[in-house]
Amino acid sequence: MTKIKKLISLSLVLIMLFAVMTPAASAVTNDRVKYPIIFIAGSSVDLVDGDQKPISTGFDVFTDDDEGDLTKDDIIAKVMNVMIPFVVEGLPFDKWDNYGEALYEELAPIFEEGQLDGNGNPKFGTGVAKAEIDSWNNIASTKDYGSDGVFGLWDYKFRYDWRLSPYDSVDRLHTYIKTILNTTKCKKVCLVGRCLGGNLVTAYLDKYGSEGLVAKVVYDEVMSNGSATVNDCFSGKIKFSDKHTQAYIAQTEYFSNEDLGVDISSLNNVLVEAIEQTIDFTTQTGIMNSIFGGVESLYERLYGALMPAFLLASGIATWPSYWTSVYEEDFDAALELMFGKEGSEKRAEYAGLIEKILYLRERFTIPRERKGEDNLYKQFEKNYGVEIAVLAGYGLVQAPITESYDLTGDCTVDLRSASFGATAAGVFDTLSDEYISERTAAGYGDYISPDKKVDASTCLFPDTTWFLKNKHHDGGSGWDYIATHFCQYKDYTVSNNYKDISRFVVIKSIHSTSSSGFENLTAENSTDGEWLNIVEQEPTKESIFVAAMRWFTTLFKVIGMLLRGEISFGEAKEML
């Protein structure tokens, strides 16, 4: 009996000791899971023509040397061909059809390699280079990068033509996944989709999710859940804001110095300063708003001709994958704006493409906008056992030419869309004290960001959604680090991760791939980016005077450079 008592006592001691030493329920077990990770990028995947030579798409046409430079006479002729119907018919008679047709005729040949045809298929045999596809297929069939038990984010990459409907690529992705599983002897994979890559992930789960080959998914700043800027451009929602424009220009300079976004590094520093001071001065005095007001009024009259001409000529409106960015409430308006009314010749010309777009609408747009458990992504989680993580950047200004200009985001995708439903204040604002009090009283206080700009409780996956402040869409630390560890560890959430990474983080370094490039967001480090802080919310007489003096000072600098021959008159005139 004594031995039994001793045994029981020893057992109790061991149990108590184990309980003390065991981490709390909120701490991760550090158990690794062995899943190959397949990275699927967005429009950063380069394309080639039928001869396997690089091509340009969309805005890249203007910066690609192999497109051939237009002569001065060519440019003048093109401008005149567009301006004649603009001046002769548009402005005096408010007739814009011929202007739209002329604009399309002049732009379309420049962008033709990037366009898809009326059936949504590539022109001139364009697509991803065969050598690149073959190379990654070879890696998938020969390399077991997880032989040491750890797979990395960049081990396996799937290359595809991101312009196409994602359903045009899912069968090949399915084969790629099965090849990797056969090579690694694993049972499931993780899919990480960035930007447009999220469309392919969603299409794959929609078609093949029931086969159970996907364990985890990371959606990083994806457009598959919508993009307010794209939506507004496609449906014709235009609006201008002076202070958002000022912030956008400062933001462009800041990130171009980090090799992200629009590159203005070739401009003379004084000319850049002149641009900034001109915007600052016109913003403070209200001149900018008056100018934009006139442009906005004119655009409302001609957008029905201008936007379809530009978006179709550049190829953007012919890319089905971009149509996943359009919200259901604006879908019909966007379809009519781009392709005309039902029964029109234009609709007939693009019938095959429209069919693909409508298929995406039925499979993507409508199901993703259902509420609660009927939501598309909730169905993936419930029916296929897929764990879903979401990464969303915020703190940057969106395009200041659409109605959604005040939405905070990563400069490309607004936070509301990228996070699958989080509530966010305007880019210059914070959530109201009343709203925060109500949410806190309801038990959601921990979901409010330290800078009082984001409420994470309303997003679709609040336990596995991370918010990255000052994260640019094209780069910035944190996303790849979090994505990798989410895929590598079991039960990895915002409150249960061995690195103690909080729900809200702030970017410290643009290019770092380690945890040193970001830190948890706190009240102390939650200051907005400098591109926002330079903007005067409510200009005063003093700020107007200071802005004017800065502008005149910079103007004298430019004049001095002209006199010294450091810049040409043409450069100065163009900048000012």
Q: What percent of the chain has pLDDT over 70?
A: 75
CA 38 from centroid of its chain's CA atoms:
19
- Quick one: pLDDT at residue 554? 64
pLDDT exceeds 80 at position 88: no
Task: Give the pLDDT score at 201.
Answer: 98
pLDDT score at 12: 36
Please spell the DSSP secondary structure of 476-537, one letter per residue.
-TTHHHHHHHHHHBTT-BTTB-TT---SEEEES-SS--SGGGEEE--SSS-PPPHHHHTS-S
What's the rounded Cα separation, in Å, for the pair 408 and 396? 6
Let me know the angle formed at the C-alpha of 347 by 341 and 349, rounded to the nearest 5 degrees.
155
Q: Is the pLDDT of residue 154 over 90?
A: yes
pLDDT at position 11: 39
Lowest mean pLDDT among 302-316, 414-428, 489-503: 302-316
Token readout for 547 is: 């802005």
In angstroms, the CA 354 to CA 340 distance is 11
Given this model, what pLDDT does residue 22 score?
A: 36
Point out which residues pair with 127 in neighbouring strands. Answer: 48
Place 106 in a pLDDT band, splitting at 50, 70 and 90: confident
Check residue 457 and give its pLDDT: 97
Is pLDDT of 506 > 80? yes
- Residue from 490, 6, 514, 417 nearest 195 by CA: 417
The Cβ-side half-sphere exposure at 83, using a 13 Å CA radius, reads 6
CA distances 24 to 29, 463, 477, Å, are 10, 17, 29
Model confidence over 272-317: pLDDT tens digits? 555 555 656 566 566 555 555 555 666 677 778 888 999 999 999 9
Residue in the block written with tokens 């001046």? 87
The answer to whether residues 499 and 27 touch, using CB atoms and an 8 Å cutoff, is no
| pLDDT tens digits, one per residue of 430-479 | 999 999 999 999 999 999 999 999 999 999 999 999 999 999 998 777 78
Q: How far apart are the first and last CA of the chain?
A: 97
Residues 12-27: what's their mean pLDDT?
37
Q: Which residue has the tokens 């084969």?
A: 175
Tokens of 215: 């364990």
Q: What is the CA radius of gyration of the chain?
A: 27
pLDDT digits (tens, 9 = 90+) for 236-277: 888 877 788 888 888 888 887 665 655 444 445 555 555 555
Rounded distance between C-alpha atoms, residue 160 and residue 194, angstroms: 13
Which range of 50-64, 297-311, 541-555 scores highest in mean pLDDT? It is 297-311
Q: Where are the alpha helices (DSSP H) in 210-350?
A: 228-235, 242-256, 269-285, 287-313, 328-339, 345-349
Q: Which residues of 91-127 are buried (b: 16+ CB within 10 A; e: fewer)?
A: eeeeebeebbebbbebbeebbebbbbeeebbbbeebb
Give pLDDT, residue 431.
97
Q: Which helix (H) or strand (E) holds 180?
A: helix 170-184
pLDDT score for 508: 84
Residue in the block written with tokens 């005067």? 536
Structure tokens at 154: 């960049």
Token readout for 308 is 């379809």
Output the average pLDDT for the chain. 83
145 to each of 38, 40, 152, 487, 505, how far by Cα in Å? 12, 17, 8, 15, 30
User: How many whole angstroms separate alpha carbon 556 and alpha carbon 576?
Assistant: 12
* Cα–Cα distance measured from residue 382 to residue 404, given in angstroms and rounded to the nearest whole number: 33
408: left (phi over 0), alpha (psi -120 to 50) or beta: beta
28 and 489 Cβ atoms separated by less than 8 Å: yes
Mean local confidence (pLDDT), 40-69: 75
User: CA 476 to CA 206: how far, in whole Å?
Assistant: 30
The label of the residue with tokens 């956008």 reads 248
With a cut of 60, say whether residue 27 has pLDDT above it: no
pLDDT of 572 over the 60 cut: no
pLDDT at 359 over 80: yes
Percent of the chain with pLDDT over 90: 56
CB 73 within 8 A of CB 191: no
pLDDT at position 176 is: 98
Strand partners, 455: 423, 448
Is residue 222 within 8 Å of 413, Cβ to Cβ?
yes
Task: Write down the pLDDT at residue 26.
Answer: 42
How many degrees, rounded to 5, is the angle at CA 462 between CA 457 and CA 464? 160
Which of 209-218, 299-308, 564-573 shows the lowest per-residue confidence on average (mean pLDDT)? 564-573
* Residue 555 pLDDT: 63
pLDDT band (50, 70, 90) for residue 90 = confident
Look at the alpha carbons of 264, 269, 274, 276 in this order and tell me if their dihedral is positive or negative.
Answer: positive
Q: Over 80: is that where the pLDDT of 222 sits?
A: yes
